[in-house]
Amino acid sequence: MKRNAWTEEIRFTKEGGHAMVRFSIALALAGLALLAVTGIARAAEEGSIELKAVAEVEVEVLREDGGTDVERVKASTVVPGDEVIYTIYYTNVGDKTADKVVVTNPLPGEMVYVDGSATGDGAAVTFSVDGGKTYGIPGDLTVLDADGNERPATADDYTHIRWTFQTPVSSGEGGYVDFRARLA
């Protein structure tokens, strides 16, 4: 088909004014063919869960009565010491129930986890202090100090946060997990 289109284009070029019109049609046909192929491929790759991560900060907004409200806005003005709220939204966009759902979020290298801030309805929250190799609850985690001695881990030591859902996520169901971290 493509070959024919090019052949037509050359022929019409010789004939003058209609050439460009014909050429456009030929390209359009080729484009439709490509789109169709792409569409099939994407459908095959579709997963069952859509994952969306947002980063926000809290700002004080002045009310008309002179008071202030705290609102969340997209994180854009952030300097060291500021706290950022990360929220990960999940939705089962497939037609089957998703089991054993686990959301994992490596902490960005510049961020320090705010102790006690991770939440997630129906999920057990665990942390890693070894780059995601193993996970545990805060009281069970240890790290080695400069002298090689084991000490209890603190929020500063966390490298990953993990939410392990206790129940399946049905088709169409969704929710979010979140945590706070401070820019070092």
> Closer CB to another protein, residue 8 or residue 56?
56
Applying CB under 8 A, which residues contact another protein?
A: 42, 45-55, 73-81, 84, 86, 88-91, 93-94, 96-106, 108, 110-111, 169, 183-184
How far, rounded to the nearest angstrom, does the alpha carbon of residue 162 sit from its chain's CA centroid?
A: 14
CB of 145 to another protein, least distance (A): 19
> Closer CB to another protein, residue 11 or residue 115?
115
> Closer CB to another protein, residue 142 or residue 159?
159
CB of 91 to another protein, least distance (A): 8
> Closer CB to another protein, residue 65 or residue 99?
99
| Pairing mode, strands 83-92 and 119-120 | unpaired
Please give the Cα distance from 162 to 23 (Å, whole number): 55
Tell which residue, 116, 131, 60, 117, has the closest CA to residue 87: 117
CB of 23 to another protein, least distance (A): 35
> Closer CB to another protein, residue 14 or residue 100?
100
CB of 5 to another protein, least distance (A): 32
CB of 152 to another protein, least distance (A): 22
Residue with tokens 């089957």: 96
Instruction: Give the orientation angle of helix 2-15 with respect to helix 19-45, to 10 degrees.
Output: 160
Tokens representing 84 are 């950022």
Tell which residue, 140, 182, 137, has the closest CA to residue 161: 137
Q: 3-state class of 31 per DSSP?
A: helix
